[in-house]
Amino acid sequence: MAKQVSICVIGSGYVGLVAAACFADMGHKVICVDNDEARVKLLCEGGVPIFEEHLPELLAKHRGRSVVFTSNLGEAVEESEAVFIAVGTPQGDSGAADLSYVEAVVAEIARMIKNYTVIVEKSTVPVYTNDWIRRVLHRHGVGKDRFDVVSNPEFLREGTAVVDFLHPDRIVVGASNEQSAEILRRIYEPLTEGSYYAQPDAIQGCCTMAQPARMLVTTPQSAEIIKHASNAFLAMKISFINAVANLAEAVDADVEDIAKGIGLDSRIGSRFLHAGLGYGGSCFPKDVAAFHWVAQERGVNFQLLNEVRKINETQREVFFNKVRSALWTLRGKRLAALGLAFKGETDDIRESPSIEIIKKLLRAGALVTAYDPAAMEHAKETLATEENLKYAENVYEAAQDADAVLILTDWKEFAAIDLERLIRAVRFPIIIDGRNLYEPAEMQKRGFTYVSMGRQSSYQGLEAKPHKMPA
């Protein structure tokens, strides 16, 4: 059995809260710190502020025992061998990551350190942040012998973050010496040695005792670049298949067949080759911009990243034009918008293509009724000033008397709609699918006009599709 490590996690957002719960499930003692008193109170009382599979169960299992929540950073740092920084690094106006929250936390940590402590970057940060953290600690009088700084980037997908944490493709540790690397090895030993997977109540995933998680130990700079480069590469795959989708549609090909053919190449793989509305969320847009900014600062012309961002932004316009082409005019049209989160199985609306498209439709004079299984409360805050926008309790209420149904988020629920019930609810049987959740031929048989991404559209009662509306 791996030796328990006392851990402090600063920040109770997506990364911090998932990390705290998973470290506790791995057998460690965890103190999760946040300066938001209301959030800490919610967590202490059994609440879960984010929508994430398995997280409520893990918190219920370990709350008050292996994991506690507090706003007292001083006590948490004093009691911990490793302090994980998991605070926000939002995108600034220049594209660079705003590291002011990281700096503020490091300055506070500096006042609390009594014994040797490993400070761990868990937030997504640009290269050389490790060095800046060291400088801040030195400036506050912390001796070199009392700390080390390690980079340990996260590779979590919202909606599957708990499974991703406990069954990772790889664990990356960027350490400048063996002493600090050894503490990270001890922390992750239940995963790398496989003992966690022998627990009868372990979260199930791809790793097992026979095939445990793998750890890669690098320099801090390499670890920092690995995180940004990984997300930029995945964003590039999404933008690539979306560009291919637009070409496929122009020559009467099917992007789903094309993606399948590309993905069967073992050098490429099928993941992230799904045509749609483009990427969103808290990671890809910010990380692509930050990675490009870092390259510019070092005199490297990373022009490819500019194109990735341009293609992604264009996809919203492509979808909007599909809606307009299918309906001719938008003013006064009743539209059912299915999906508000940036992707399925999460309540996160940050940089959501759905939100951007809904705003554009409202500006064009459409009347929108929206539904999302988890993200409606967040959306109501963001879209509070929008007129002609209503919310429904389910798919069919949203679709009642609609001129068209728009699928904006790839929720599993939206891929299993009762189509007979839907066609009875709508005014016109028109579906414009931004996520390619259905097969065109099947939808045509069911009596729908069906428009999707990178595939030929089927228009009921027409031999040919309408001409595209001018931009």
Global pTM reads: 0.91
What is the average pLDDT value for the chain, to the nearest integer?
94
Helix (H, G, I), strand (E, B) or coil at 114: coil
Burial class of 195 by CB neighbour count within 10 A (0 to 12, 13 to 18, 19+) = middle
Mean pLDDT value of segment 23-43? 97
Query: Is the per-residue pLDDT at 175 higher than 60?
Result: yes
Whether 149 and 15 share a structural domain: yes
Q: Are residues 160 and 101 in the same domain?
A: yes
Taking 60 as the threshold, does the pLDDT of residue 463 lie above it? no
User: Do 181 and 50 sit in the same domain of this protein?
Assistant: yes
Which residues have a catalytic role annotated?
283
Distance CA 2, CA 190 (A): 6
Same domain, 235 and 284: yes
**Is the confidence at residue 211, as pLDDT, over 80?**
yes
Residue 470 lies in a domain: no
Residue 128 in tokens: 């050389």
Domain assignment of residue 156, yes or no = yes
Q: Which residue segment(s) compose the domain that 300 sits in?
A: 227-309
pLDDT at residue number 462: 55
Residues 193 and 276 in one domain: no
Please, which pLDDT band fits residue 464 given cuts at 50, 70 and 90? very low
How far is residue 120's CA from residue 83's CA, in Å, rounded to a whole number? 6
Based on the fold, state whether residues 262 and 282 are members of the same structural domain: yes
Q: What is the pLDDT of residue 356?
A: 97
pLDDT score of 3 more than 90: no
- Taking the C-alpha atoms of residue 333 and residue 365, their distance in angstroms, rounded to an integer, is 8
For 48, 255, 261, 431, 439, the CA distances from 436, given in Å and listed in that order, are: 32, 10, 17, 11, 8
Instruction: Say if 427 falls within a structural domain.
Output: no
Domain co-membership, 275 together with 181: no
Pair 249, 209 in one domain: no
461 or 86, greater pLDDT: 86
pLDDT of residue 459: 82
In the block, residue with structure tokens 């073992």 = 266
Domain shared by 270 and 295, yes or no: yes
| CATH assignment of the domain containing 261 | 1.10.1040.10
- Res 468 pLDDT > 90: no
Same domain as 105, residue 160: yes
On whether both 64 and 120 belong to a single domain, the answer is: yes
pLDDT at residue 318 in the model? 97
Q: Give the residue-averaged pLDDT of 433-454.
A: 97
How many structural domains does the chain have? 2
Whether the predicted pLDDT of 229 surpasses 50: yes
Question: What are the pLDDT digits (tens) for 361-397?
Answer: 999 999 999 999 999 999 999 999 999 999 999 999 9
Is there a domain that residue 295 lies in? yes
Closest CA to 281 of 345, 376, 225, 233: 345
The percentage of residues in the chain with a pLDDT greater than 90, rounded to a whole number, is 90
Q: What Å distances lie between residue 152 and 203, 219, 227, CA to CA?
A: 22, 11, 9
Question: Is 185 found in the same domain as 138?
Answer: yes
